[in-house]
């Protein structure tokens, strides 16, 4: 399955793409062009994103939480390219230990992240971060205050425009935000 790789310098390449997500070495992204035996190697910082199976993945810096240093990940963009607010989906590998000499198991978890309106750069925030909860209705309505009718719906906790800190599944939070983002993009 061919993919298209977009570099920060404006160049694009199409071919077989390999992205190593667990090891951000200098050659974390590899692209094999047609009939090439050796790949072209790229640092993740040289890659803007890639397109695979009609999905676009952008390199984003995860903010919030208790991480040491910077954490980057390629995330699937759920919103249109010209959206005023962007929502991203990221599938993360989680390894859990059952205790000493008990073994561990690995599973994959889907999380959602938002790039704030008007914020430059590649920073995204988890939907469970203090940027959004508690008091989602206050924080989100301020973010979209240049669209008064939408801000009012959020502030009033209208159905489909609100989520509490612990009450909804991640997918439901993403659905609420997609509705808000769609309305914000169409606000006159």
Model pLDDT for residues 50-78, shown as the tens digit of each residue: 999 999 999 999 997 666 677 888 999 99
Asked if the structure places residue 28 within a domain, the reply is no
Label residue 137 by pLDDT band (50, 70, 90): very high
Asked if the structure places residue 27 within a domain, the reply is no
Instruction: Tell me the mean pLDDT in the region 74-83.
Output: 95
More confidently predicted of 69 and 153: 153
Strand 55-62 and strand 123-126: the pairing is: parallel
Asked if the structure places residue 81 within a domain, the reply is yes
Asked if the structure places residue 171 within a domain, the reply is yes
Stated pTM of the model: 0.88
Query: How many folded domains does the chain comprise?
Result: 1
Asked if the structure places residue 34 within a domain, the reply is no
- Structural domain harbouring 112: 54-185
Highest averaged pLDDT of the listed ranges 22-31, 55-64, 94-103: 55-64
Predicted pLDDT at 142 = 96
Q: What is the mean pLDDT of the chain?
A: 88
Instruction: Tell me the mean pLDDT in the region 23-36.
Output: 75
> Do residues 125 and 114 touch, judged by C-beta distance below 8 A?
yes
Predicted pLDDT at 155 = 96
Asked if the structure places residue 48 within a domain, the reply is no
Asked if the structure places residue 179 within a domain, the reply is yes
Closest among 72, 81, 70 to 43, alpha carbons compared: 72
Asked if the structure places residue 145 within a domain, the reply is yes
């Amino acid at each position: 399955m061919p993919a298209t790789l977009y570099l920060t310098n404006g160049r694009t390449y199409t071919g077989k793409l390999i992205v190593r997500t667990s090891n951000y070495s200098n050659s974390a992204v590899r692209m094999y062009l047609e009939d090439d035996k050796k790949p072209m190697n790229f640092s993740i910082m040289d890659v803007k994103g890639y397109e695979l199976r009609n999905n676009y993945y952008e390199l984003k810096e995860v903010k919030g939480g208790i991480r040491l240093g910077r954490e980057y990940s390629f995330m699937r963009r759920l919103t249109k390219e010209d959206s005023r607010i962007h929502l991203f989906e990221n599938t993360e590998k989680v390894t859990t230990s059952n205790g000493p000499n008990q073994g561990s198991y690995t599973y994959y978890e889907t999380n959602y992240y938002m790039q704030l309106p008007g914020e430059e750069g590649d920073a995204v925030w988890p939907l469970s971060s203090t940027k959004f909860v508690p008091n989602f209705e206050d924080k989100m309505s301020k973010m979209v205050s240049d669209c008064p009718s939408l801000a009012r719906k959020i502030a009033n906790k209208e159905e489909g425009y609100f989520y509490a800190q612990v009450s909804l599944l991640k997918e439901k939070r993403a659905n609420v935000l997609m509705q808000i983002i769609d309305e914000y993009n169409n606000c006159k």
